[in-house]
Amino acid sequence: MSRIVLVDANNFYASCEMVFEPALAQRPLVVLSNNDGIVVAANEPAKRLGLKAQPFFRIRQLLRRHGGVARSSNYTLYADMSRRFHRLLARHASAQEIYSIDESFLLVPEGLGAEWGRCLSDQVRQWLGLPVAVGMGRTKTEAKLANYWAKRYRLFDGVVDAAALAEAVRTVLLAQTPVSALWGVGRRLSRRLQAAGVHTVADLLSHPGDVVRQLGHLPLWRVWAELQGQRHYAVQTQPQASQTLVCSRSFARPVTALAELEAALADYVMTVMQKLWRQQLVAGEVAVFAAGSRFAQGAAVPAWAQHKLMTPTEDVVAVLKLARRLLHQLYQPGRSYRKVLIRLGALQPRHQVPAGLFSRPSRAQQALQAVQARFGPQALFLGRQGALQPQADWQMARNRRSPRYTTCWAELPQVS
């Protein structure tokens, strides 16, 4: 049986920023969400100040007082760094599951241990400049937990092999680790477990399986079983086809006018259709959601409208028409909106749908796709889209974005 390894990058977005601006490592650094709304990543100095996920406006003063820096999310940069990161890891594994932008599960031969893990970690650091944590175990859940320990306890130096821990060490770690640190145990479930007297991972493991099943339903039982070495989650080497595709953005300011909502929606439709085309899927369902701010007076109430299609489609104009109709259905005049969302559902591979049961792309759409493929996704767009309207000040703000060092000729790093 092979071993499972979880490698993830520490403070990924913040680390990407520091790769190209090493001086930032000495100062508190936070990376903000879209619209510079909340903190989504922080480097070690910032964490020492207690900075973590929370609204930016609340920590602005504190950050300034300590000479800190805030950056807007630079997804172009992070996505490119992520691609390099996963590709490097793939060289060292017989199989790889890219689990998130900064995490991979790897299958490696039995017999490799912490020493191997340290070499891997060194190489990632050397080649990409990214600090990582490595967790090794019999199952994904155990690898996750080992990775948690690797990050949390300095003496492990970023690498833990759960199988190689001395029994006494393992016992102490299990007794010190809160259940909420387990994969799949969120806020609500951990509250329930606490109420039942289960505070630590050791507490959970002290119960028999049927009791665990009662306490928390199937997923918790699986986690419990995986911690004893039974595999319930396989390393998924093939990316799974999406079941739904979403595009959603918050606005930089409250929006009341239907025309502005429509323009934003058209932008999101184009984006979500590009995802659909990339995966060669067709959509059987279209849904639109719009809502105001939870914190504002006179804000629109969250509302969904959706429509099932008689025949699945990949036609951007048809989807846009439908989405606009749905938006009109749920629009609340006079109320202010903070976000609009489009979701495509009932997806299936386009080649599995019998010809004639869905509309083939029109000549116009084929031309659109050809131009976008050649000159980039922004090269050609629909007239309804708001992206290029000069007055579209509702668009997402990213006022503190770093250069796209690795993907844009005009923004290459300069050495002097």
Taking the least distance from each CB to DNA, the nearer of 48 and 217 is 217
- Least spacing, CB of residue 323 vs DNA, in Å: 14
CA-nearest of 397, 53, 75, 39 to 251 is: 397
**Residue 151 in the binding site for DNA (CB under 7 A):** no
> Angle at CA 19, nearest 5°, toward 15 and 23?
95
CB-nearer residue toward DNA: 74 or 250: 250
In the complex, the smallest distance separating the C-beta of residue 238 from DNA, rounded to whole angstroms, is 13
Determine, following the binding rule CB under 7 A, whether residue 361 of this chain makes contact with DNA: no
Token pair, residue 386, equals 């708001």
CA 237 to chain CA mean position, Å? 18
In angstroms, give the least distance from the CB of 378 to DNA. Answer: 15
Stretch that binds DNA, among 21-29, 96-104, 195-203, 323-331 (CB under 7 A): 96-104
Q: Which of 64, 65, 87, 217 binds DNA (CB under 7 A)?
A: 217
CA distance 244 to 231: 27
Q: Which of 89/182 has CB closer to DNA? A: 182
Identified binder of DNA from the candidate list 62, 107, 119, 246, rule CB under 7 A: 246
Give the residue with the Cβ less far from DNA, 35 or 313: 35
Question: Three-state SS for 47?
Answer: helix
How many residues form the binding site for DNA (CB under 7 A)?
52
Question: CB of 105 within 8 A of CB of 99?
Answer: yes
Determine the 3-state secondary structure of 186 from DSSP.
Answer: coil
Binder to DNA among 189, 201, 265, 281 (CB under 7 A)? 189
DSSP of 344-406: EES-EEGGGSPTTSSBPPPHHHHHHHHHHHHH-TTSS--TT--TT-TT-TTS---TTPPP-TT
As a whole number of angstroms, the distance between CA 284 and CA 346 comes to 5
Q: Compare residues 80 and 119 and give the one whose CB is closer to DNA.
A: 80
Beta strands at 337-345 and 245-255: parallel, antiparallel or unpaired: antiparallel
Query: Which range touches DNA (CB under 7 A), out of 132-140, 155-163, 179-187, 364-372?
Result: 179-187
Q: Which residue's CB is nearer to DNA, number 87 or number 217? A: 217
The correct pick among 91, 154, 188, 363 for binding DNA (CB under 7 A) is 188
| Contacts by 191-196, CB closer than 8 A, 24 or more apart | 192/216
Structural tokens at position 126: 């050397």
Q: Could you say whether residue 55 binds DNA (CB under 7 A)?
A: yes
Pick the piece of the chain touching DNA (CB under 7 A) from 118-126, 212-220, 372-380, 404-412: 212-220
244 binds DNA (CB under 7 A): yes
Residues β-bridged to residue 108: 3
Residues binding DNA (CB under 7 A): 8, 33-35, 37-38, 40, 53-57, 99-103, 144, 182-190, 217-219, 240, 242-250, 271, 275, 293, 295-296, 304, 306, 308, 338-339, 341, 396
